[in-house]
Amino acid sequence: MNQKLETTDSKRRVLPFKGVLNFRDMGGYTTSDGRRVKYGLFFRSAELTGMSDQDIKLFKSLGIKTIFDYRGIEEIRLKPDPVIPGVNNICVPALKQEVPGDMRDVVRSGFLEHFTTDFLVNMYLDMAFNNPSFKRLMATIMLPDEFSILHHCAGGRDRTGVGSAFIFLALGVPRETIIEDYLLSNQTLGPLNEQIKKQASQHLSPKEVDTVMAALILRREFMEAIFSAIDARYKSVEIFLEQEFGMTADKRKQLQAYCLEA
């Protein structure tokens, strides 16, 4: 299938949650060998704390058995995931540093002002290798009994974007498709970015607000930096997956047999 058409299709797969942003089914993408990722196995989203009763009903209809949360202790304390019977909650922080749990604290602390391109590239590279969170994620996706799986962070963009990339690499999705899916968060997070702009305007000058908002745009070079680093360190994706996550060729074959369709 044409890649642009696949990206358009993925926009249609944004699920209509009222209190959760960026909730997407990761299925439907064509792999390098011509198969397709099944719908209904992998989901990604922003934080879940705003779920309404209607949202929980929609969530239950998706058959999700596992919620994988990349956020830190303070983020989870302030905005905990809902406890849903029959759903296993896994929480393993993907960032070494603690992220302020409330957006007002994020703005006041100046955290966003450090979001330069160089800072974000380095943040992505720090996340990508020898990360206990992604090691646990990739171990989890090799257990079919844990499916379906939702993984998320605060906005469902950076930490979740890296986790999604690793899942897609294991399934054999081409890099350009992974990047296009990653960049969709620029559209799906529009309401959150407007909220950030409004709150930032109360504490920063107009020029500083513009700097912050520009820094919130996801850029393809962030994901490309990870791919380049994988190539430099491991020479191939297959070696990366095996040495970082213990995902041997046989295990990848089993995963793909379960998660892909003709």
Q: Which pLDDT does position 176 carry in this prediction?
A: 97
Average pLDDT, whole number, for the chain? 89
Using the predicted structure, report yes or no on whether residue 31 has a pLDDT greater than 70: yes
Using the predicted structure, report yes or no on whether residue 212 has a pLDDT greater than 80: no
Domain that holds residue 228: 3-261
Give the count of domains, the chain: 1
Using the predicted structure, report yes or no on whether residue 208 has a pLDDT greater than 90: no
- The CATH number that applies at residue 60 is 3.90.190.10
Indicate the pairing of strand 88-91 with strand 66-69. parallel
* Residue length of the chain: 262
Tell me how far CA of residue 158 lies from CA of 35, 54, 152, 189, in angstroms.
27, 27, 10, 12
- Assess contact for 49 and 82: CB atoms under 8 A: yes
- pLDDT-based confidence at 230, cuts 50/70/90? very high
- pLDDT-based confidence at 225, cuts 50/70/90? very high
> DSSP code of 114?
G
Tell me how far CA of residue 31 lies from CA of 6, 12, 88, 156, 199, in angstroms.
11, 19, 29, 23, 41
- Which residues lie across from 260 on neighbouring strands? 37
Using the predicted structure, report yes or no on whether residue 181 has a pLDDT greater than 90: yes
DSSP string, 164-181: HHHHHHHHT--HHHHHHH
Tell me how far CA of residue 232 lies from CA of 28, 224, 236, in angstroms.
30, 12, 9
Burial profile 30-45: b = 16 or more Cβ within 10 angstroms, e = fewer: bbeeebbbbeebbbbb
pLDDT over 70, % of the chain: 89
Mean pLDDT of 165-169: 98
What's the pTM value of the predicted model, to 2 decimals?
0.90
